[in-house]
Amino acid sequence: MAKHEVLSPGVSDKDINIDALEVVYKSDNFLCVNKNFDVKINSNNPNDVTVEHQVRKLFPHLVDPKCTHGFRFVHRLDYATSGILCLALNKRAAGHLSAMFKAQQVTKYYLALVRGYVHNESTLIDIAIGPLVDQEWPGRMCAVDHPHCSDPRPTKTLFMCLERGTYDGQPATKVLLKPFTGRQHQLRVHCDYIGHTIVGDYTYSNRCDTTPERMMLHSYKLQAQTTIENLDLQTSDPFVPDLVKPWQPVEVVRPSDEALKLAQNFDFSNDQSVGGGLDIKHVTLNPDKTCCHSNINVCT
């Protein structure tokens, strides 16, 4: 295998098993995979299908017995989220990339299908989030204005409309999301806060949105200029009608490649697009929610 190799076996998310793992990129320092939805990263149960077990089977010679789960996972994705996940193959690479994640120097882009028609082409969501102190919702996060929000921290997300259409006959929109910070459940909380909960998000739909086969959130692109090597990774779009039958786009608002270019030029330090091209609505607290959830019958 070459020192730098891009692999695209085209594994379908519908075939989630120990062999169903797409390798996006591999070098002497990093292994980057396209994580399937509803798959844990690691587990103490040897019978679980996890990214760790999948990588062990594909690359048994890369297992490091000094690591608790055999590999150095330098960041995480939620169980329900699919997409790019990076593993470092040595201590030096792990140290560099981990430091970049902590310093918010890794740029990430996500695709999502959300409930309702998103009217604004571009929105900056600037809402602090923190853990929800509620025993009935363990692990749930919430916005700073929730009465039971604990230790809220600043978070920003650029939210760009790509396509409008329907999911299983109900209004839905495909969006590109660029988080500045990387808080737990940040994208899920921000989408829900502005009235456009992610399709299939069981937790933030208040346990109502159970019909979709998965939560429609995908880690689409990742960029990191480490001192070791440059990472510029992208997967295919999993939210197309051929792969997600209930999703039927009817209007293209902005092609994804154009949206990516505009998002790459967005500067979170001054909340502006370098060179223009984006008419951005800035959302702080108590937004005018353009999507009324009572009109989207996911709870009936």
Q: Could you tell me the CA-to-CA distances from 78 to 95, 249, 291, 293 in Å, in that order?
A: 22, 26, 25, 24
- Same domain assignment for residues 133 and 256: yes
- Same domain assignment for residues 127 and 264: yes
- Same domain assignment for residues 121 and 258: yes
- Same domain assignment for residues 268 and 122: yes
- Same domain assignment for residues 170 and 78: no
The whole domain housing 275 covers 107-224+237-300
Q: Which of 103, 130, 145 is the last residue of a domain?
A: 103
Q: What are phi and psi of 45, to 5 degrees?
A: -90, 115
Domain count, the chain: 2
**3-state DSSP call for residue 109?**
strand
65, part of any domain: yes
Q: Which residues of the chain fall short of a pLDDT of 70?
A: 1-17, 274-276, 286-300
229, part of any domain: no
Q: Which of 83, 103, 123 is the last residue of a domain?
A: 103
18, part of any domain: yes
- Same domain assignment for residues 95 and 193: no
The domain that contains 120 carries what CATH number? 3.30.2350
- Same domain assignment for residues 98 and 41: yes
Q: Are 211 and 204 in contact (CB under 8 A)?
A: no
Distance of alpha carbon 295 from alpha carbon 273, whole angstroms: 34
Residue with tokens 């009235």: 195
pLDDT of residue 17: 67
- Same domain assignment for residues 10 and 33: yes
pLDDT of residue 19: 72
77, part of any domain: yes
The catalytic residue positions are 78
Q: For residue range 61-76, what is the model confidence (pLDDT) as tens digits?
A: 999 998 888 899 999 9
- Same domain assignment for residues 89 and 158: no
230, part of any domain: no
Q: Which of 46, 79, 103 is the last residue of a domain?
A: 103
Q: Global pTM?
A: 0.89
128, part of any domain: yes
Residue 146 C-alpha from the chain's centroid: 23
231, part of any domain: no
Specify the pairing of strand 217-225 against strand 129-131. unpaired
**3-state DSSP call for residue 60?**
helix
Distance of alpha carbon 4 from alpha carbon 103, whole angstroms: 26
The domain that contains 25 carries what CATH number? 3.30.2350.10
- Same domain assignment for residues 61 and 2: yes
- Same domain assignment for residues 1 and 23: yes
13, part of any domain: yes
pLDDT of residue 285: 75
